[in-house]
A = this chain, B = another copy of it.
Amino acid sequence: MAEARSVDTRERILDAAEHLFMAHGYEGTSMRQITSGAGVNLAAVNYHFGSKESLMQEVFRRRLDWLNDERMRVLNALESEAAGKPLKPSQIVDGFFGTLLRMADDEERGGVTFLRLLGRTLTDPSEFIRTFLAHEYAEVVDRYKEALFKALPDVPKAEIVWRFHFMLGATSYAIAGTDALRLVTDWQIEEEDATDRLDRLVPRLMSFLLGGLRAPLPQFSSPTVDL
């Protein structure tokens, strides 16, 4: 078997695809853009991955396998250290979302490119993508949900699930980077440069997520509560 070349080619394709899918989306990226971006022959994608869909899945699997393993490892460590007692919500939130955000600094694991790709893809309309991601995430999400149930016994489970969902949305936007509505413009934030911004993003987002997670429960029945 001649592996030396093919491994290189596979990796080059994955890198190019990751970047292009991030920049232009799945449907908006053509095979020819990918292969020429990777400097390989057009047929290489179908040879190594079978199809464009399979390539997309492999782009995510390469990163998500490590991420979700790491999330599991962190949660297991926290729980064994707690010895049966409930964890702090901040620990759980940091284990799930902090672990994700810290990938931004890890260029070997895709860095900001993959994070932006993931953030944008979570709302992607393509059915096969959402199905694939849901499957990749199912186990780890379940574990973290259970941990939150135990950590917040007074909050209805349905409420926790919703707030998990909201936290995912806030995080997704935080990492999608290019602010959807140009809310964060450079002239507005004079005091920090671009390198600082990422370091500060994590504590910023964590404060927000925890504030939302532990907010007072909503009052359904009463009309127009004035809080």
Contact = CB atoms under 8 A, between A and B. Distances in A.
A210 B227 contact: yes
Contacts of A42: none
Nearest to A157: B188
Interface in A195-227: 199-201, 203-220, 225-227
B126 A25 contact: yes
A120 interface: yes
B225 A130 contact: no
A167 B165 contact: no
A84 interface: no
B180 A168 contact: yes
Interface string A42-68: 000000000000000000000000000
A1 interface: no
A200 B220 contact: yes
A134 interface: yes
B174 A166 contact: yes
18 contacts: A23-B125, A27-B28, A119-B123, A120-B124, A123-B123, A123-B180, A137-B181, A141-B181, A161-B188, A162-B201, A162-B204, A163-B208, A170-B170, A204-B218, A207-B215, A208-B213, A211-B214, A211-B216
